[in-house]
């Protein structure tokens, strides 16, 4: 009985097989990114040996970046660079209830012409009038 208890404790210490497979997949993918980087660096070094190490590494990183992005894209929820942040989280609404009236305001143009400055002015005037935002001079 003591042997069965020690075996169950040992089994509990190991992660489940699905997690082990996932970890191996991630490790292989990460290794592939490193291999692509190394091969790209070697090609750049061979073809353009007069470039600085930083320039060679930048070119090699640009070669490996699509593979790396492809591997993490499904897990990527956003990024921040140079003080600019982009969120890639999916927005969803479940059981959303929308109510209200739809108001149609005729504008003398077709849909494609609505981007003309004179039409945009009319559209904004109609929207601001409907919302009570008209400027009082």
pLDDT band for position 127 (50/70/90)? Answer: confident
Q: pTM for this one?
A: 0.47
Please give the structure tokens belonging to residue 111: 């849909």
Q: Taking a C-beta distance cutoff of 8 angstroms, is the pair 40, 68 a contact? A: no
Which range (7-11, 44-48, 114-118, 123-127) has the least confidence? Answer: 7-11
The CA distance from 116 to 91, in Å, is 31
Across the chain, mean pLDDT equals 81
pLDDT at 108: 86
Give the model confidence (pLDDT) of 2-55 as tens digits.
Answer: 555 555 555 566 777 777 888 888 888 889 999 999 999 999 999 998 999 999
């Amino acid at each position: 009985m003591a042997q069965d208890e020690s075996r169950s404790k040992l089994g509990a210490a190991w992660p489940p097989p699905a997690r082990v497979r996932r970890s191996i997949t991630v490790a292989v993918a990460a290794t592939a990114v490193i291999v692509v980087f190394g091969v790209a660096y070697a090609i750049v070094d061979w073809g353009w040996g007069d470039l600085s190490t930083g320039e060679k590494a930048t070119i090699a990183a640009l070669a490996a970046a699509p593979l790396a992005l492809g591997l993490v894209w499904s897990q990527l929820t956003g990024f921040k660079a140079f003080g600019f942040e982009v969120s890639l989280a999916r927005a969803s609404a479940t059981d959303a209830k929308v109510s209200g009236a739809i108001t149609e305001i005729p504008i003398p143009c077709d849909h494609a012409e609505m981007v003309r400055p004179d039409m945009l002015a009319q559209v904004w005037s109609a929207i601001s009038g409907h919302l009570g935002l008209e400027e009082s001079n």
